[in-house]
Amino acid sequence: MEKINALAEEITQLSSGLADKEKVFNEKEAELRKNEGELKTDRDKYHAEHQDAGTKVDPAVLKQYRYIQNKYSDAMALAVNGICSGCNKRIPPQLYIELQKWNELISCTNCHRLLFYQEPAEEVK
Ligand SMILES: [Zn+2]
């Protein structure tokens, strides 16, 4: 009889342990499902934004960009120290000044790549 009681006790403990584990598991599962839902929402959001980006860009700029891209794989070039990094030609000083103001899209007078300005790196002393 005592043996049976001991066994019964053991079973009760095991099943309560199991219930605890099941509870933890269910909680984890719910958490993961929630994360999954959030990730899917994020993914959909980025996807929509990406599709949107194509329509937000000025069509003229996009056309120019695609045109340049047909000629060069890199349609954009860095302008450093007054030089277009795409064709290594000097950018007219007035244009370079305009470029530094960053008000409008400027393309290289030589290769027509869209230029973006980067401040010259400071010399290491
Ligand atoms: Zn150029």
In tens, the pLDDT along 64-90 reads 888 888 988 889 999 988 999 999 999
Q: Is the pLDDT of residue 32 over 80?
A: yes
How far away, in angstroms, is 113 Cα from ligand 1 center? 6
How far away, in angstroms, is 57 Cα from ligand 1 center? 22
How far away, in angstroms, is 94 Cα from ligand 1 center? 15
How far away, in angstroms, is 98 Cα from ligand 1 center? 16
116 neighbors 86 (Cβ within 8 angstroms): no
Share of the chain above pLDDT 70, in %: 94
CA distance 55 to 22: 50
Q: What is the DSSP letter of 90?
A: B
pTM of the model: 0.51
Calculate the alpha carbon distances from 84 to 98, 111, 116 in Å.
14, 9, 9
Alpha helix (H) ranges present in 1-125? 2-56, 59-71, 93-101
How far away, in angstroms, is 96 Cα from ligand 1 center? 12
CA distance 65 to 59: 10
For the chain, how many residues are written?
125
Calculate the alpha carbon distances from 94 to 2, 42, 89, 105, 121 in Å.
100, 44, 15, 14, 21
**105 Cβ neighbours under 8 A, 6+ residues apart:** 61, 64, 114
Share of the chain above pLDDT 90, in %: 40
Report every protein residue that has its C-beta within 5 angstroms of ion ligand 1.
84, 86-87, 108, 110-111
pLDDT band at 108 (very low <50, low <70, confident <90, very high): very high
| Intra-chain end-to-end CA distance of the chain, in Å | 91
Q: Is the pLDDT of residue 33 over 70?
A: yes
